[in-house]
Chain A
Amino acid sequence: KAGVTQTPRYLIKTRGQQVTLSCSPISGHRSVSWYQQTPGQGLQFLFEYFSETQRNKGNFPGRFSGRQFSNSRSEMNVSTLELGDSALYLCASSLGFTGGEKLFFGSGTQLSVL
């Protein structure tokens, strides 16, 4: 069974640009969550999608947005990039029916903003 797939693996952008990250969950999983990980802050929750609807949202500015498609694949978009957005962005999938099931993480996208 294929795991969670994230693309691209690495990204280098400059301030002011926008970026789109992609995540394909484990087959059968309907929930996709996004996290930002930095050395000092640990894993910070961005948002969760279930059946194409945003079910939970963390405390990030509106520059961070996401969506989920009917096949459960999800994208995350960051507009007007700032230096502080440099981080590892992790996607995690779960079955999603109860909201507290096991999360399985993808390999992440390492974003560097110059």
Chain B
Amino acid sequence: QKEVEQNSGPLSVPEGAIASLNCTYSDRVSQSFFWYRQYSGKSPELIMSIYSNGDKEDGRFTAQLNKASQYVSLLIRDSQPSDSATYLCAVVAGNQFYFGTGTSLTVIP
């Protein structure tokens, strides 16, 4: 059973702070890693993808991948109230997506 684990939260950060979201996975041969954002009542929206060890930055978002530790994280800098959502980690293994249950983030104005 391939597993993707996320802290369900809720995680609360003040506006302007850095939000750190973490995800661990069980399958060592996982190939691709994604972060999705899901607003309440909406469908998941892709925000970041990462395929190799290290950091990948896109605007206020940074994804970090450490395959040896089977760990992927998402940093949101200068957090805004509009970032309040559930963040889903997704891991691809064997050409199939496995999703975590998500971390709920609240950015407090």
CB of A25 closer than 8 Å to a CB of B: no
Out of A56, A100, A104, A105, name the residue touching B32 (CB < 8 Å). Answer: A100
Contact B95–A98 (Cβ < 8 Å): yes
Contact B99–A42 (Cβ < 8 Å): yes
Contact B101–A42 (Cβ < 8 Å): yes
CB of B88 closer than 8 Å to a CB of A: yes
Contact A105–B88 (Cβ < 8 Å): no
B interface, CB within 8 angstroms of A: 31-32, 34, 36, 42-46, 49, 88, 90, 92, 95-102
Contact A106–B49 (Cβ < 8 Å): no
Contact B49–A102 (Cβ < 8 Å): yes
Complex-state Cα separation, A106 to B43, whole angstroms: 7
The minimal Cβ–Cβ distance linking B36 to chain A, given in whole angstroms, is 8
CB-CB under 8 A from B92, the residues of chain A are: 99-100
List the 4 closest A-B pairs by CB distance, nearest first. Answer: A99-B95, A42-B101, A100-B92, A43-B99
Kindly supply a per-residue 1/0 record for chain A positions 71-114, scoring 1 wherever the CB is within 8 Å of any chain B CB and 0 otherwise: 00000000000000000001000000011111111111000000
Contact B97–A45 (Cβ < 8 Å): yes
Contact B43–A102 (Cβ < 8 Å): no
Using CB atoms, name the residue of chain B closest to A88.
Answer: B43
CB of A33 closer than 8 Å to a CB of B: yes
Out of A45, A48, A100, name the residue touching B31 (CB < 8 Å). Answer: A100
Using CB atoms, name the residue of chain A closest to B91.
Answer: A100
Q: Which of B43, B90, B97, B102 has the most A CB atoms < 10 Å from its CB?
A: B43
Contact B46–A45 (Cβ < 8 Å): no
Complex-state Cα separation, A104 to B42, whole angstroms: 13
Using CB atoms, name the residue of chain B closest to A110.
Answer: B41
Complex-state Cα separation, A59 to B92, whole angstroms: 17
Q: Which of B34, B42, B92, B95 has the most A CB atoms < 10 Å from its CB?
A: B95
